Amino acid sequence: MKNKTESLDRKRIAQVALRMIDQHGIDQLSMRKLGGELGVEAMALYHYFRNKAELLDGILDIVLDEVSATLTPDGTPLQRARRTFDGLRLMAIAHPHAYLSMVSRRFSTPTALQFYEQLLRHFHDAGMSAEQSARYYRMMANFTAGAGLAEVGSRALQPDAAPIILEDFDRPADFPSSPPPCRFCA
């Protein structure tokens, strides 16, 4: 076990767990391995997180804080919402292994709920009702989750994944039903 040079707290434990997931994938994360990385027995971690699911919620808080740190208050409410969703997609690129687990996490922590509240506030400030805001959020969250998953897969992070080359579809004779590549998407 490594020497314990820093005191433990929830944030530090979640940050180290995120780093381990980034390096080795979520399947390789265990409380025992995390404890070893932190220089403590695995049982010490249960003082901070009751189980692995709660640890994953702590990791979600870390990545949502990362997204929030990149957001600026300028622009229209819909521009701010768009930047937030783009930040979530970029999180998929920054933390592809964690993202695969994070998209299925229900927002349940104060940090996650505050993130959600801020997004709903953008929609409200744009003139949407509470019902419209919730619908727009669900639509954009599902779209962003799908885009993030596609981003993770297309970056060939798994050994068997082949990157998709959009230029291959720019051959109308071979792909008559495909629209030309989006010139704004590159």
Residue-range domains of the chain with CATH: 10-159 (1.10.357.10)
User: From CA 38, how far away is CA 122, in angstroms rounded?
Assistant: 39
Between residues 37 and 106, which one has the greater pLDDT? 37
Tens digit of each residue's pLDDT (9 = 90 or more) over 85-109: 999 988 888 898 888 888 888 889 9
Tell me the average pLDDT of the chain. Answer: 85
Distance of alpha carbon 36 from alpha carbon 25, whole angstroms: 17
pLDDT at 4 over 90: no
pTM across the whole model: 0.77
Exposure of 151 in the CB half-sphere (CA atoms within 13 A)? 21
Q: Is residue 98 within 8 Å of 59, Cβ to Cβ?
A: yes
